[in-house]
Structure formats: C-alpha cells, structure tokens
Amino acid sequence: MVKKKIKLRDVILSILAAGVFCALLAYYQYDTGTSHSYAISILERSAIYAVVAVSMNLLNGFTGLFSLGQAGFMAIGAYTTGILTIPVNMRQSVYYMNGIAPWLENLHLPMIPALLLGGLFAAAAAALVGIPVLRLKSDYLAIATLGFAEIIRALLAAPMMNTITNGSFGLNNIPGFQNIFQPMAIAAVCIVLMILLINSSYGRAFKAIREDDIAAEAMGINLFRHKELAFVISSFFTGVGGGMLAIFMRSIDTKTFQVTLTYNILLIVVLGGIGSVTGSIIGSLLINGSQEWLRFLDEPTTVPVLSSLFKPGFRMVIYSILLMVVVLFWRRGIMGTNEFTWDGLFGLFRRKKKTKKAGGEA
C-alpha cells in the first residue's frame, strides 16, 4: 500500500494502551495482597500461543502454505531450551532413572540463548524437511508436516535418546520466568519481528505466492526459495514459542506436543482470521481465556444428563465444533485479513451507535 501518514492521535492512543497494559502487568506482578497466578498464567500462555499462532499465520495465512507441523517444531524448541536451562546441580535428580549424557552434564545456557538455539534447531529441521516437501503441492505439505511432528515426538521418546531427553520421564525443574514481563517482552519482540518481515518486500513476495503462484513466478519470484524461507522463519519462531512453553510449564514430556497442540494453534489462527497478525493475538487471548472458563466441561458433574457428557476431553469436542462452525459459516474469523487499527475500532463503535439510533427511532 502507499504509505499513509501516521496520525498523532493513533500514536498517543497506542502509547496509552501499551502503558495501561504494562500497568496491569505490573499490578499483577507486584500486588501481593491477592494471588493473581490465575490471570498471570492465562496472560503468559496467551503470549506464548500468540507467538506460535502468528508464526503459523506467516506460513498459512501469508504464504499460503498449509503446514501442520507446529507441535513438532515446538517440541524441538522446548526440549532444547529445557535441557539447556535446567540448573547443572539439579541434573542428576532430573535424569536419575537414565543418567545424563556426559557431554551434556555441564552444558548450560541462560534463558535467551537457549531459546534462540531452540529456534535455530527448529529452523534447521524445517530447512531439511522443506527441501523435499515444499516442492510438492500444498496438500502434501500438511500431511508431511503432520507426520514429521509425530516422528519428532517418537524420536524424543526413543530409548536411545534417554540420556539426552530423559525419554518418557520428560524434563522437570526447568527454571520458570522470573516475572510476567519476561515472556511478554520476548513474545512482543518475536511478533514485531514477524510484522516487520511481513511488511518488507519479502513479505509482499510471500503474499504474491499465496495469491497466485504462476503470476508470482512470472514476476521473478523464485517459488521454492521463498517458500523455504517462509517455512524456516516460521519454524524458528515456532521453536522459540515451544521453548517459552517449556519455561512456562517448567516440566514437559512428549505428551505435551501431541497433535492437539497444533490443533489448538490452528483454532486460534482460524478464529482470529487467516492472514491477520492482530487476529492471531486476539484469538490467542480468547482461546486461552475461555480454556480456563470452560474447564468445568472436563470435570465430572452430578447433573443427570450432562454427567455422561462432561468428562476429560469434552472441552476438545466443544473446540472442534467451534472450529467447524467458524470454517463453515465465518471463514474470515474475527479479523479476516485486516489488522487492528484505531480507526477500525472507532468505526465499530460508531456503527453500533448508529444501529442503536436506528433501532430507537423505529
């Protein structure tokens, strides 16, 4: 688009909103009177899922490549981060069943380098998988990446990996975030980087491929190179998101990275709007928020008819239905391919007022 002048009002409003949000975070963090762990955990989880959802959107929404390997790339990032950040003096107790590989025993990294390395490993895996798979048609990509994610899970749990991944025992004692600002800041940096990429000439090339690959190629865009690039970058941030999840959960095992995880991310992307970054962020907040509110669905109840329905997993059924409804009747999701703007928000209020007035007069 032709560059538009940035409005002073929007700048002020954005700074204000960011300020209010930071103040809220600070309140949750420093108000010790009441426990805010519940709200904090929803916000942190939302931020982490938002990173992964935006990176999935980069691929599915902006480049038009339908990949379902998110859980696999998250697992790579999570295990890398987890293994490297567990304090050295805790390692014997974490790996007490299988023992730890000698070369790994004293290998320790601080959080940020560990996250970066997790992202890089995920990106490297994507580069390898992408070479054969991205030459195929898009439908095969979904199947191949889904399979890839399961292979990663199997590899992580494989007995010969026991001294590295601790096999089926998983990892624990991963140091958590020190405060709520850490995950928020990391998520913000990741998302801003992806937005910058999307708005660069590479991002435009990705969109061109999504719109019409034959025309994109006729404009001199090397399809394979750009698809591979989008896939690798998306997987990098997915890996970082996985690493963040490991830090957030503090203990992980391969069950954490089942297909349902990918499914959750997909739901966020579809609900928020395929091709909208802000949509993915809003979607992440909604899904993670409601996940807590809807937790009662998974708990046994004594209400006669419902008791046969409410059992662990029922929440997933509700989500599946929601996904189907969105896909069938509301394909654009909340944001469609639009991004949040202050103009858009005020427009929404104005429209509401108008309809109210019209209703009043009638």
Partner 1 sequence: MADNVLKVEHVTMQFGGVVAVNDLSMEVNKGEIVALIGPNGAGKTTAFNVITGVYAPTNGRVSFNGVPMIENHPQGKMKKNYLGEDPEGYPAKIVKTPDQITKLGIARTFQNIRLFKSLTVFDNVLIARHMRSKANVFSATFKVNAMEEKENREKTMELLKLVGLESSANEISSSLPYGKQRRLEIARALATQPTLLLLDEPAAGMNPQETDELSEFILQIKNQFDLTVLVIEHHMDLVMQISDRIYVLDFGKLIAQGTPEVIQNDPHVISAYLGVQDDE
- 171 DSSP assignment: B
Closer CB to partner 1, 124 or 193, in the complex? 193
Q: How many residues sit in the footprint of partner 1 (CB under 8 A)?
A: 28
DSSP character string of 330-359:
-TTTTTTT----HHHHHHHHHHHHHHHHHH
- Write the binding mask 200 to 239 for partner 1: x where contact by CB under 8 A, - elsewhere: xxx-xx-xx--xx-xxxxxxxxxx-----x---x------
Please compute, for residue 47, the number of CA atoms within 13 A of its CA located in the half-sphere on the CB side: 25
Closest separation in Å from C-beta 214 to partner 1 = 6
Closer CB to partner 1, 226 or 315, in the complex? 226
Contact status, residue 215 vs residue 208, Cβ threshold 8 Å: yes
240 binds partner 1 (CB under 8 A): no
Tokens of 303: 């209400």
**CA distance linking residue 155 with residue 147, whole number of Å:** 12
- 4 DSSP assignment: P
- Write the binding mask 309 to 348 for partner 1: x where contact by CB under 8 A, - elsewhere: ----------------------------x-----------
Dihedral pair phi/psi, residue 252, rounded to 5°: -135, 155
Angle at 191 between CA 188 and CA 193, to 5 degrees: 105
Closer CB to partner 1, 38 or 224, in the complex? 224
Tokens of 271: 């609900």
3 binds partner 1 (CB under 8 A): yes
Closest separation in Å from C-beta 260 to partner 1 = 32
Angle at 359 between CA 356 and CA 362, to 5 degrees: 150
Question: In which element (H, E) is residue 143 found?
Answer: helix 138-157
Closer CB to partner 1, 218 or 362, in the complex? 218
Closer CB to partner 1, 53 or 221, in the complex? 221
Closest separation in Å from C-beta 362 to partner 1 = 33
Closer CB to partner 1, 170 or 203, in the complex? 203
Chain residues 168-197 in contact with partner 1, contact rule CB under 8 A: 193, 196-197
Tokens of 157: 């749990």
Chain positions contacting partner 1, by CB under 8 A: 1-3, 193, 196-197, 200-202, 204-205, 207-208, 211-212, 214-223, 229, 233, 337
